[in-house]
Amino acid sequence: MARKIVFTSGKGGVGKTTVAVDLGVCLSLAGEKVLLADTDFGLNNIDVVCGVERIHYDIVDVIEGRCRAKQALVMHPLWHNLYILASNHSDPQKYISPQAVRLVLDGLSHAFDYILIDCPAGIEGGFHRAVASADEAVVVTTPHVSALRDADRTISVLKSYRLKSVELIVNMVRGDMVADGEVLSPPEIANILKTPLLGVIPQDDGIFLGERFAGGGKKAFRMLAGNVMKGTRRIYNAAGRYGGFFGSIRRSLKKNL
Ligand SMILES: Nc1ncnc2c1ncn2[C@@H]1O[C@H](COP(=O)(O)OP(=O)(O)OP(=O)(O)O)[C@@H](O)[C@H]1O
Ligand SMILES: [Mg+2]
């Protein structure tokens, strides 16, 4: 049976989809069979982020009986252990119940090791629909104050669900700013949010440009995947290369970019 993990945030644009997709790729490269399920029915984009162009059926087609769940799965063209279940493309306003989504994902659970559920921003209906299908939750935040406040709110709402775990990923961490004390470090953020740290992903232009596994993001995602699979808690040190004499030169160069 698959582990069903939902990626939530509260605040939009903090990297839920990116983290779910890149973690999914890493897990699949490690031999795990992974399903990326898009439950962001308003601004669905997991297929685009994955570079999958043709979607014949989506999750709503499954729910409304136009196809079987397996027919709606799209195998990734590069990583054959990675599958995508797109959210609806036709009518984003259509009401889909949390139970219906859960039924579809439960039905697919035996065929996968992991089902990674991409949740919409906010803590409204779409959030409930995504979280109700999961057994574990990951809250994605950036070090910015507005994201932290929304993450805090999200974590408190998650307490009302029956989840095995709620953990934290701090994304878009700028090592130079952490080293200069301009933003909180990921362990400080985890302390404030009283939530265990599952991973840290640096701000990486390669990620922004959609180049899977470029720059520091590559190592960080490998460590994250290891933590998810093995239960370890190895955390990427984004500030590492900005310490000491050469680090201070790197910091000032980065500031002037
Ligand atoms: N670590 C990172 N470094 C650089 N850019 C990143 C990183 N993580 C995400 N991004 C970029 O930030 C943007 C927002 O990411 P993404 O769409 O994954 O966020 P989201 O939380 O899923 O947004 P939404 O709430 O709209 O669903 C994208 O352009 C993505 O490429
Ligand atoms: Mg998203």
Q: What is the CATH number of the domain that holds 214?
A: 3.40.50.300
82 neighbors 75 (Cβ within 8 angstroms): yes
> Ligand 2 mean position to 156 CA, how many Å?
21
pLDDT in tens, 138-184: 999 999 999 999 999 999 999 999 999 999 999 999 998 998 888 99
CB under 8 A, 24+ apart: contacts of 69-72: 69/104, 69/107, 69/108, 70/108, 70/111
Domain count, the chain: 1
Which residues, chain by chain, have CB under 5 Å from ion ligand 2?
16-17
- pLDDT band of 49, cuts 50, 70, 90: confident
- CA nearest ligand 1 atom 16, residue: 15
Looking at ligand 1, which residue's alpha carbon is closest to its atom 25?
Answer: 12
Q: Tell me, in angstroms, the distance from the centre of ligand 1 to residue 242's CA.
A: 24
User: How many angstroms separate the CA atoms of 148 and 167, rounded?
Assistant: 14
Protein residue whose Cα sits closest to atom 10 of ligand 1: 208
Whether residue 172 has its Cβ less than 6 Å from ligand 1: yes
Q: Which domain holds residue 89?
A: 3-255
> Are 130 and 39 a contacting pair, CB within 8 Å?
yes
User: Range with the lowest mean pLDDT among 17-26, 129-138, 184-193, 210-219?
Assistant: 210-219
pLDDT of residue 47: 83
From the CB of residue 110, how many other CB atoms can be counted at a distance below 10 Å?
8
The model carries a pTM of 0.93
Q: What is the model's pLDDT at position 41?
A: 79
